[in-house]
Structure 1
């Protein structure tokens, strides 16, 4: 690639999945992508994910404004885990997340569950509405962070994190629906897939910097 493989872990993309290392910057980028798709007459929608910490960035609200003003087919997913790196939500965000979206005329739906099937059902309804109306909608997910933001900078009590792991882990909740043998088969497949990816990366030659 352009940076010879040295772009960092937050500048990745795969097919039509994109990321960016600048906090909150995915919102204006996604708004532009959604508008471009609409102007080209494609019946597609764009989905963008952001955390509660990103709501402290001014560009996020510029994106909300233009997404609503221009009528972009954009589904905004806010993952609210109630802590931005080390700052609790209550110390960094006035008002409510839904209220901020409402101020720009963007309807929102909130879910407070870690059950992937419940989240999927709600998301499917919003996807259908965005596709039909060609206007933005938002899904606010009350989520849980099970570890530090990075390294060992978690300021929460260990007991709180252990409780979240016991009660809110989506892999455990959904995995309990499977037979033990089926779950073991999935785990084995995933371990093999990750191991193969590591082995491939280690055996590949260094990335070049040519365009």
Structure 2
């Protein structure tokens, strides 16, 4: 039964690929003629794979370079990725922890500790309001700060503390990868039209 379920899921995924929105990155010569499909709900790993790939293609001259810490690891357990900042330091205290989500709006409880997270990267985002509260699943919470520097690319979660009153003095940067890609690279996007229903064949009289 498990094999049949997995087989059916694989077939459905394959059949659906040609109907998904896709994009090319025309400003990167080696990628200009290659399609990428956009993530769907449940594809957090694909969000992480895209962010990891493009974090290695951003140059220091790009205006958004500071929003692309370069991912070094990718894991299905614990922290999704560890990354280095602009200085490339591999010292323990300089490494950044990144968590990937399909969507994030700050309203749902975050399922990782805010106290150890430096970046949350999602594909879809609804910007919360200034001073909204973001809570995690580990008895901590922080306050939304909208900044001119990020604009519609994301927001910051500041003043992270526990319900018992402990203050961690942390800042978590939340980024919308869909918008960040378009801000950093030249993107050509295409959405196939819905398939037309098969024509009905007329029976013989």
Larger strand percent: 2
Q: Does the alignment reach a TM-score above 0.5?
A: no
* TM-score normalised over the length of structure 1: 0.30
> Which structure has the bigger radius of gyration?
2
Larger helix percent: 1
Higher relative contact order (CA 8 A, sep 6+): 1
* TM-score normalised over the length of structure 2: 0.31
